[in-house]
Amino acid sequence: MRIDEDGMLQGARYIASPNCDERPGGCPVSLLVIHNISLPPGQYGGDGVIELFTNRLDPDAHPYYQTIRDMKVSAHFFIRRDGEIIQFVPCGKRAWHAGASNWNGRERCNDFSVGIELEGSDDEAFGEAQYEALAQLIGVLKEAYPIEGIVGHSDIAPGRKTDPGPYFEWERVA
- pLDDT of 174 > 90? The answer is no
The boundaries of the domain holding residue 94 are 13-172
Examine residue 2 and state whether it is found in any structural domain, yes or no. Answer: no
> Exactly one of 5, 22, 117, 119 is catalytic; which is it?
117
Examine residue 104 and state whether it is found in any structural domain, yes or no. Answer: yes
pLDDT in tens, 103-134: 999 999 999 999 999 999 999 999 999 999 99
Number of domains in the chain: 1
Examine residue 4 and state whether it is found in any structural domain, yes or no. Answer: no
CB contact at 8 A, 121 and 165: yes
Examine residue 115 and state whether it is found in any structural domain, yes or no. Answer: yes
pLDDT in tens, 75-106: 999 999 999 999 999 999 999 999 999 999 99
Domain holding 114: CATH number?
A: 3.40.80.10
Where are any strands of DSSP class E within the chain?
A: 13-14, 20-22, 31-37, 77-79, 85-87, 93-95, 102-103, 106-107, 113-119, 149-152
117 included as an active-site residue: yes
Examine residue 37 and state whether it is found in any structural domain, yes or no. Answer: yes
Examine residue 5 and state whether it is found in any structural domain, yes or no. Answer: no
